Amino acid sequence: MSDPIDLSAVRNQRTAPDAEFVKRDDFGRQMQVYLIQYTMDGEDWGGVQVWAYSMDDAQRRVQALRASATLLGQAMRSGRV
């Protein structure tokens, strides 16, 4: 039997994100998904994603969220009866 693989160590060795977290904008520039975490009522919450060109761009987008975020409503599939 072989030794177990430490998946965290393997992920940390990567230099590029997985394909589903990369896309190109209308001008062909590469964008990646960055994850956002926030604290509310003493608990950490995460799972918010933002597409950005770089870590600096992601930081700018977080600042824009802080200044102008608006709740649009609950997400649902379109065409639902």
What is residue 6's predicted lDDT score, i.e. its pLDDT?
A: 80
Q: How far apart are the C-alpha atoms of 14 and 74, rounded to whole Å?
A: 35
3-class secondary structure, 63: helix
What is residue 69's predicted lDDT score, i.e. its pLDDT?
A: 93
What is residue 80's predicted lDDT score, i.e. its pLDDT?
A: 59
What residues have CB less than 8 Å from 80, skipping those under 6 apart? none
Q: What is the pLDDT of residues 31-81, one digit of tens each?
A: 999 999 999 999 999 878 999 999 999 999 999 999 999 999 998 887 755
pTM: 0.68
Q: Exposed, middle or buried by CB within 10 Å (0-12, 13-18, 19+), for 37?
A: exposed
User: What is the domain partition of the chain in residue ranges?
Assistant: 14-67
More confident residue, 11 or 31: 31
